[in-house]
Amino acid sequence: MKKTAFAIPLALGSAAGLFAQTATPPSPTAALEASVKAAQSAGDNAWMLTSCALVLMMTGPGLALFYGGLVRKKNVLATMMQSFTLMALSTVIWAIVGYSLSFGEGSPFIGDLRYLMLAGVGADPMPDYAATIPHQTWMMFQLMFAIITPALITGAFAERMKFNAMVLFMTLWSLLVYFPMAHMVWGKGGLLNAFLGGSIPCFDFAGGTVVHITSGVSALVCAIYMGKRVGYGSEPMRPHSLVLSFIGACMLWVGWFGFNAGSALSAGSLASAAFVTTHFGAAAAALGWSLMEWLHSKATVLGAISGAVAGLVVITPASGFVTPGAALIMGFVGGIVCYFMVVKVKAMFGYDDSLDAFGVHGAGGTLGALLTGVFATRAVNSAIGEGKGGLIDGNGGQILNQAIGVAIAWGLAIVGTLVILKICDIVCGGVRVSTQEEIEGLDLSQHGEEGYSLEG
Amino acid sequence: MKKLEAVIQPFKLEEVKEALKGIGVDGMTVTEVRGHGRQKGHTEVYRGQEYKVDLLAKIKIEVVIPTERLEEVLDTLTKAARTGKIGDGKIFVYDVVDAIRIRNGDRGASAI
């Protein structure tokens, strides 16, 4: 039905085209081409605006609920506030300078200031990035990533960081870690950009290095630098509401369709491919994590939802490059690996990565980025050059490219975060709340509120 | 007057409520509480971290009754709340000095 309706105007168009040669311009063909282009543009834009909203939903309420449920009752609001603050803070920084530093065509390491205050970012598409959608839509889509990435870090220092120190930390972290990394991987001329002239082509479809490694590794640095929570290991620190976490995790899963399938930057078949792998990765990982738990004792709800998130992380860099079968493998392996990182490795080293931002995002992001070098194939994404896919396309060298991308992300995250923490320490007189404030809870000590009160 | 404080298994609440209603004890106050007697707690595991939970969820029922009904009520309550396993709970009995119905100022046994 649709096909016929589409074919008729096209046929008319070509007939009109022949006729147009003898008639006076403007030609109806051009008008028709323009309207077909406008229709495609409208379709792509509809999906991309939807994706923007989905990715914002991942941070609030998705991540806020997921993290909020995992902390103790006295810190639920403060934890949610950290995510929410980033929805506001990252947006303002993005408008002023963030978008430009990320996507202005500058050096291989950081963008220039051509889009300062979003100058020139309007309705016309930016063909290098996304040819069929308004530049504004692309800018908004990327903003949503700049919001959730720092928000992921908050899981590591949950229940003990000063609010003012958090705001300063996140501002500096966006400037010194996120924008450079986003530029290197996705910006025009970025060092690692596989499709826009990078010298080391690193595949990262939706942010394995840019989002998950940077945030996860920075999270580990924060957890070690700031030390354990008061009473860690001796007092019970059970999640106060797995119900909230469950709802949050499910919202993350749904929102991730915008994150990954939206990264196709169009509403075509590549978006579908990424949509499928995203879903398959999450499903297989939820089973993988649950299976590991089941072998040891019981399959828990927290385990299943953590596994799903881990799978989503692992598939993120690969989502638009790999087959559904590869996604199942990557997800399953990811669920098991992240289980070991969170349950075994954390206990072995004894750092207090409170909500496992490193174990899930750092480890999962690293694994996903490396496995992308194995499973990426031209059969899924035609933007990959002949023989330039991953190991299964006969290009084992791609794993090395991926490893370089991973190493740069790790290095930048470690060094950047350490420097920033030092600065925050000096400026804020310590990044941690006092012991008394910590025991009292951050809701009261940082915000003067309580999440749950007895009186109506 | 006597006050009974019965700490029972949460899943026995309905049975106890019905049994007390059956013998004409209508007023009661019920609270969700946590505690333990000789019953051992259980272990909860969150992402591999084990937490020993020794304060278990219980229900506390408070009833005030005329002294002459004490044995009858105790008997009914005990039967209704019993499973025969450890963790069934306990009943504590107190003397009550006075009772006041706030609505009209009734005092003593007629207020309960």
In tens, the pLDDT along A268-317 reads 999 999 999 999 999 999 999 999 999 999 999 999 999 999 999 999 99
**Residues of A whose CB is below 8 A from B44:** 238
pLDDT at A12 over 50: no
Q: State which residues form the domain around B43.
A: 2-111
In tens, the pLDDT along A136-154 reads 999 999 999 999 999 999 9
**Residues of B whose CB is below 8 A from A239:** 46
The answer to whether position A433 is within a domain reads yes
Instruction: Categorize the per-residue pLDDT at A1 as very low, low, confident or very high, splitting at 50, 70 and 90.
Output: very low
Smallest Cα distance from B110 to chain A, Å: 32
The answer to whether position A30 is within a domain reads no
Q: State which residues form the domain around A312.
A: 43-119+132-447
Judge: B48–A356 Cβ closer than 8 Å, yes or no: no
The answer to whether position A4 is within a domain reads no
In tens, the pLDDT along A409-446 reads 999 999 999 999 999 999 999 999 999 999 999 999 99
ipTM of the complex: 0.79
Q: How many domains does chain A divide into? A: 1
pLDDT at site A8 = 42
Q: How many domains does chain B divide into? A: 1
Judge: B46–A300 Cβ closer than 8 Å, yes or no: yes
CATH for A88: 1.10.3430.10
The answer to whether position A106 is within a domain reads yes
Q: Which of 160-199 (A) contact B at CB < 8 A?
A: none
CATH for B85: 3.30.70.120
- The pLDDT mean for chain A works out to 93
Judge: A236–B45 Cβ closer than 8 Å, yes or no: no
**Residues of A whose CB is below 8 A from B47:** 302-303, 306, 342-343, 356
The answer to whether position A25 is within a domain reads no
The answer to whether position A9 is within a domain reads no
pLDDT at site A233 = 86
Q: Is the peptide bond before A26 cis (omega within 30 degrees of 0)?
A: yes
The answer to whether position A354 is within a domain reads yes
Is A347 in the B-facing interface, judged by CB distances under 8 Å?
yes
pLDDT at site A22 = 53
pLDDT at A166 over 70: yes
pLDDT at site B41 = 81
